């Protein structure tokens, strides 16, 4: 069986483009391109209610993503939600009196943590805790309150 060179070339082209597509998906489409790896430090925040926040939800400052939520668990005594965040180590100058809030991207979008930088000269370090937190806005609660106000105001 003679194997033609065009055939070899086309097979080569096919395999190369298939692998390129896999790389494209890994780097451009998924979070692998912005994977933080070990170059990060952890900060902790206590929220009364972390709402629909999930592991891997983004953490951002002024709309720029600086890290991800790495763990969410319940404090068994205070019944608060403990949220651990991994912040990329290049952002090592966040003031220690910064505050964090949980917001929703768009009306139905994902929830994310927004960090509001404070003015302290000290910076957040690995395992430091953020004290100023505002909880997630739960849509049902908001609608409930709104309805109640309407009814009372009448």
SS3 content of the chain, % helix, strand, coil (to 5): 30, 35, 40
- CB under 8 Å to 95, separation ≥6 — which residues? 117, 118, 119, 120, 121, 122, 123, 124
CA 103 from centre of chain: 11
Binding status of residue 106 toward other proteins by CB under 8 A: yes
Q: Are 56 and 32 in contact (CB under 8 A)?
A: no
Beta bridge partners of 128: 43
Which of the ranges 29-37, 40-48, 133-141, 143-151 carries the binding residues for other proteins, by CB under 8 A?
A: 29-37
- Give kind and range of the element (H or E) at residue 19: helix 5-24
- From the CB of 24, what's the least distance to other proteins, in Å? 5
Q: Does 147 bind other proteins (CB under 8 A)?
A: no
Q: Please identify which residue in 38, 62, 109, 119 interacts with other proteins, judged by CB under 8 A.
A: 109
Binding of other proteins by 29 (CB under 8 A):
yes
Q: Phi first, then psi: give them for residue 27, nearest 5 degrees.
A: -95, -40
Q: Is 110 in the site for other proteins (CB under 8 A)?
A: yes
When the beta carbons of 55 and 148 are compared against other proteins, the nearer one is 55
Per CB under 8 A, which region of 33-41, 42-50, 85-93, 121-129 contacts other proteins? 33-41
Which residues of the shown chain bind other proteins in the complex (CB under 8 A)? Answer: 1-3, 7-8, 10-11, 13-15, 17-19, 21-22, 24-26, 28-35, 56, 58, 65, 105-110
């Amino acid at each position: 069986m003679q194997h033609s060179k065009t055939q070899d070339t086309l097979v080569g082209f096919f395999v190369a483009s298939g692998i390129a597509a896999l790389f494209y998906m890994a780097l451009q489409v998924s979070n692998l391109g912005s994977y933080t790896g070990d170059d990060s430090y952890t900060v902790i925040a206590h929220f009364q209610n972390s709402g629909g926040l999930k592991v891997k939800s983004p953490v951002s400052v002024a709309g720029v993503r600086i890290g991800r939520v790495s763990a969410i668990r319940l404090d068994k005594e205070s019944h608060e939600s403990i949220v651990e965040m991994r912040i990329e180590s290049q952002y090592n100058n966040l003031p220690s009196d910064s505050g964090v809030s949980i917001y929703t991207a768009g009306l139905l979008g994902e929830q994310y943590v927004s960090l509001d930088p404070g003015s302290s000269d000290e910076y957040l370090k690995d395992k430091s805790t953020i004290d100023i937190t505002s909880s997630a806005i739960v849509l049902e609660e908001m609608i409930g309150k709104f309805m109640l106000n309407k009814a009372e105001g009448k």
